[in-house]
Structure 1
Amino acid sequence: MTQLNGGQPFVICISGPTAAGKTQLAMDLFERLNGRIISVDSALIYKQMDIGTAKPSAAELARYPHALVDILDPAQSYSAADFRHAALDLIEQAIAQQQVPILVGGTMLYYRTLLGGMSNLPTADAAVREALQAEAEQHGWLALHQRLASFDPQSAARIHPNDPQRLLRALEVYTLSGRSMTELTESQEPGLQWPSYQFAVAPADRKVLHQRIELRFDDMLQQGFIAEVEKLRARGDLHLDLPSMRCVGYRQVWQYLDGDISADDMRAKGIAATRQLAKRQLTWLRSWPDLHWLDPTQVNLADEAWSTLRDKFATRPQMWLKKP
């Protein structure tokens, strides 16, 4: 585990699977620290998507401001590179103001690019993507995959022809830069320059997590999740291939509104998709070093995290502790 000297700048990272209790821990630490919460969530960036993303309430956001929440329209795209640049700026601002950056969220790709660095890939370009999408509709995804193989066989070997999101990204990178994704990933930007203390929040018992996921999905439905998606669908400019509409739950509710699946199937598929997301998140986390695991069923998350962090403030506590 990275050792942090009291009074020196550092970053707190709170990750974990969906529905585990990450957000509440971040807010509890905010109460005790002179901190700044930065969201690490690819769904919370979108406006008008509150219920299905389990976004903190307006009252909670007023009391515990979260950076990188409600920053984009659902029709827009946001890459891991976009997140990295924005998060680094916010972390620098917080440290300059003697605040502790408290990063919280479950988008593991965002964490990986921030903590471990990333290749110098160009950001997403809507016009290029639209042109590639139109070409795919005319000639088929297999034709685009064959083109990718002609200049980037390594990426083509990794990306299945039926994986349009990754295929589009690889072709987009080449179109924008003139260099293949494989070539660009060889030049890596450095990781986070400040030491980080990393917590992972997750029940040790997988059944408990599955129960939490099911209860939260049902709660979302009771809060008006279907009406939220119906309003987004009625805009006319959104579709299921957009990153925003690929967020867990939104696709299933959209399909229900289209009449493609029943209400029972929508619920079952939404819960199953959320469980698959949690499984992927846990797989990522188990491969990461230096994680301090917190089980919300065994400990008080805030007290356990605080006891772990207290000695980090020993030298100059007035710099980091919340002022009365």
Structure 2
Amino acid sequence: MRVATNDIEESSGERGGLLGNAVLIAGPTASGKSAAALRVARQLGGAIINTDSMQGYAVIDVLTARPSADDLARAPHHLYGHVPPSTAYSTGAWLRDAMSLVSTGKLAGRVPIFVGGTGLYFRALLSGLSEMPDVPDRIRERWRYELTEQGPQKLHRLLSREDPDAAARIGPTDAQRIVRALEVLESSGRSIVEWQRTLGRPLVDPASLRAYVIEPDRADLVGRIDARFDHMLERGARDEVAALVRLELDPALPAMKAIGVRELSAAARGEISEEEAILRAKIATRQYAKRQTTWFRNQFGPEWTRVRSPDEIQL
């Protein structure tokens, strides 16, 4: 689809309250999404919006494969590295930040290009999010403390007694979602499942968007994953992990679960060899990519164009 000048002008504002002419590029880690987004941004005069949960965190820019300084200079990039690793960043927080880009005019005159590997962020773009109650700090802090003291499985058993519908939808080791369900229940007296039944408003206009999901050949993707992790080590991934560890953060925080953090910190403590740490990190990345691919295959509908290579994305 050719983007006319007036469409570009509209894309930075709203069409019927929705962001028009958005380009969505999803795919598993190491599939070449960022390079494709930069090419499209240069072609259309676009602004790139991070749609990946880990690339939003500060400190771990190399380890999460954030765009390089050179790439950042070639096109406007938003929502990269803006979240302290001490924060448990949520889909709702990301969507509010994305909406803020529109309301503050930061996308003015630009085609919005959303790129990343977090399926829930794309779902929020297209479907909106349920309204959720405000959670007082004292309740949030209490459940974070209980998580540290008791662990996710004990809290999951508590959730099963207090809110069986929510517990049935959340795995017993999914600490962040377990705590979220408990704090919503205490704050509002209602199950998070009830709150989730009513979706909010989408951010992008489905009639004008162009959505692509990259489904690369498995063997090719494995090769890209391994080569990229080696490159991360050359660019200072070890130093990033050391800097993150020095912050002494709760290991349950999402940033502490970034692939490579656990493995490289274990090697730094002498618990495993560096060779073993690298192997484990590469295997974990492959497993993560497989989960992403499965999610995209099962959750993305016919509005998504499926391509084998990022080079097939042509606008």
TM-score by length of 1: 0.83
In structure 2, the partner of 1:312 is none
Bigger relative CO (Cα 8 Å, ≥ 6 apart): 1
After alignment, is 115-124 or 260-269 more displaced? 115-124
What is the rounded CA distance, in whole Å, between the counterparts of 2:102 and 2:92 in structure 1? 15
Q: Deviations over 1:203-242 (max 9, x none)?
A: 2x21110111011111111222112111221233x24211
Does the CA-based 8 Å contact 2:24-2:115 persist in structure 1? yes
What is the rounded CA distance, in whole Å, between the counterparts of 1:251 and 1:4 in structure 2? 46
Cα drift, residue 62 of structure 1: 2.2
Does the CA-based 8 Å contact 1:77-1:243 persist in structure 2? yes
Does the CA-based 8 Å contact 1:141-1:161 persist in structure 2? yes
In structure 2, the partner of 1:228 is 240
What is the rounded CA distance, in whole Å, between the counterparts of 1:231 and 1:95 in structure 2? 31
What is the rounded CA distance, in whole Å, between the counterparts of 2:63 and 2:186 in structure 1? 34
Cα drift, residue 11 of structure 1: 0.5
Q: How many residues align?
A: 298
In structure 1, the partner of 2:116 is 105
Does the CA-based 8 Å contact 1:79-1:124 persist in structure 2? no
The verdict on how the C-alpha distance between 1:21 and 1:125 changes in structure 2, with shifts beyond 3 A counting, is: farther
Matches within 5 A, 1:285-300: 285-287=296-298, 288-289=300-301, 290-296=303-309
Q: Deviations over 1:119-154 (max 9, x none)?
A: 223478775444223334545545433432233211
Does the CA-based 8 Å contact 1:10-1:101 persist in structure 2? yes
1:58 correspondence with 2:75? no
Does the CA-based 8 Å contact 2:41-2:111 persist in structure 1? no
What is the rounded CA distance, in whole Å, between the counterparts of 1:150 and 1:277 in structure 2? 31
Q: Which amino acid aligns with 1:200?
A: V
Gaps of 5+ in 1: 310-324
Q: Deviations over 1:265-310 (max 9, x none)?
A: 21111111111111111112112112222323xxx71xx433xx3x
The verdict on how the C-alpha distance between 1:147 and 1:24 changes in structure 2, with shifts beyond 3 A counting, is: same
Cα drift, residue 91 of structure 1: 4.3
The verdict on how the C-alpha distance between 1:138 and 1:69 changes in structure 2, with shifts beyond 3 A counting, is: closer
The verdict on how the C-alpha distance between 1:86 and 1:171 changes in structure 2, with shifts beyond 3 A counting, is: same
Matches within 5 A, 1:153-172: 153-172=164-183
Q: Secondary structure at the match of 1:72?
A: coil
Q: Secondary structure at the match of 1:25?
A: helix
Q: Secondary structure at the match of 1:282?
A: helix
In structure 1, the partner of 2:272 is 261
1:206 correspondence with 2:218? yes
What is the rounded CA distance, in whole Å, between the counterparts of 1:86 and 1:94 in structure 2? 13
Matches within 5 A, 1:108-123: 108-122=119-133
What is the rounded CA distance, in whole Å, between the counterparts of 1:59 and 1:124 in structure 2? 40
The verdict on how the C-alpha distance between 1:125 and 1:220 changes in structure 2, with shifts beyond 3 A counting, is: farther
Cα drift, residue 252 of structure 1: 1.7
Does the CA-based 8 Å contact 1:152-1:182 persist in structure 2? no
In structure 2, the partner of 1:305 is 313
Q: Which amino acid aligns with 1:109?
A: L
Q: Secondary structure at the match of 2:313?
A: helix
What is the rounded CA distance, in whole Å, between the counterparts of 1:78 and 1:211 in structure 2? 30
What is the rounded CA distance, in whole Å, between the counterparts of 1:89 and 1:137 in structure 2? 33
What is the rounded CA distance, in whole Å, between the counterparts of 1:294 and 1:94 in structure 2? 32
Q: Deviations over 1:156-208 (max 9, x none)?
A: 223343332221121122233332111111121132341321011232x2111
What is the rounded CA distance, in whole Å, between the counterparts of 1:245 and 1:120 in structure 2? 28
Does the CA-based 8 Å contact 1:43-1:53 persist in structure 2? yes
The verdict on how the C-alpha distance between 1:257 and 1:11 changes in structure 2, with shifts beyond 3 A counting, is: same
What is the rounded CA distance, in whole Å, between the counterparts of 2:2 and 2:135 in structure 1? 36
Does the CA-based 8 Å contact 2:101-2:107 persist in structure 1? no
Q: Which amino acid aligns with 2:55?
A: L
Matches within 5 A, 1:1-324: 7-8=6-7, 9-91=20-102, 97-122=108-133, 128-139=139-150, 141-195=152-206, 196-203=209-216, 205-236=217-248, 238-287=249-298, 288-289=300-301, 290-296=303-309, 301=311, 304-306=312-314, 309=315
Gaps of 5+ in 2: 8-19
Q: Which amino acid aligns with 2:126?
A: L
TM-score by length of 2: 0.85
Does the CA-based 8 Å contact 2:131-2:199 persist in structure 1? yes
